[in-house]
Structure 1
Amino acid sequence: MQFSRSEVERYLNMVGDENPLHSTIVPGQLIVDRCMTTLGVTWMHFTINYRKSVMIDEPLTIQNTDAQTIHILNQSQEVTIQICKN
C-alpha cells in the first residue's frame, strides 16, 4: 500500500486540510481509513497510535497481528501506525 501525491491532494481538498506538513507527509487518518477498508474492519471503537511519519510514495505493509491489533509497517518493518480495538 502506498499513497501518491495526487491521492493525498484529493484527500486534503476533500477534508479541507491546509496543513503545509502534508505536502510531503501522508495524513494519518487517510492511511488508517485505507487500511481498515482493505481489511474490511468495522470496529466502532478503536485507538490509533501514530508512531512515525509516512512520506508520499512510501511503501507500507499491513500486519494484522491479532483480532484486536493492526500494525502498518514501513519498508524497514518499523511500525508507523498501530490501531487497537477498544
Structure 2
Amino acid sequence: MVKYIDYSWAYDWATAHEEGATGQPAIEKEMDLYNNMMGRTLVLGNESKSDEEIADIIQNAVRNGKMKRIVDNKLVPTNSEGEK
C-alpha cells in the first residue's frame, strides 16, 4: 500500500482493519499492528523498487528478527523458521 498509494493511507487502512477485527486475541492484534508498522517503514523510501525487491526486503527483515511472531502466547522476534 505504501508503494502504490502512500504511507498515511496504508497506516489508516491497516490500522482500521485491525481495530475492526472481532474475536481476535489481543496478542494477535499487537503482533499485526507491529508487523504492519514495520512493513510500512521498510517500504518507505523504497517505493521505486520492484515488488520482488520489496518482498526480499521484507523477507530479510523477517529472517533477521525485525518482525514479531507468537510463540507460547508471547511475542518473540521472527526468524527463518517456517519458511517454505
TM-score (norm 2): 0.33
Which structure carries more helix by proportion?
2
Between structure 1 and structure 2, the one with the greater Rg is: 2
Which structure carries more strand by proportion?
1
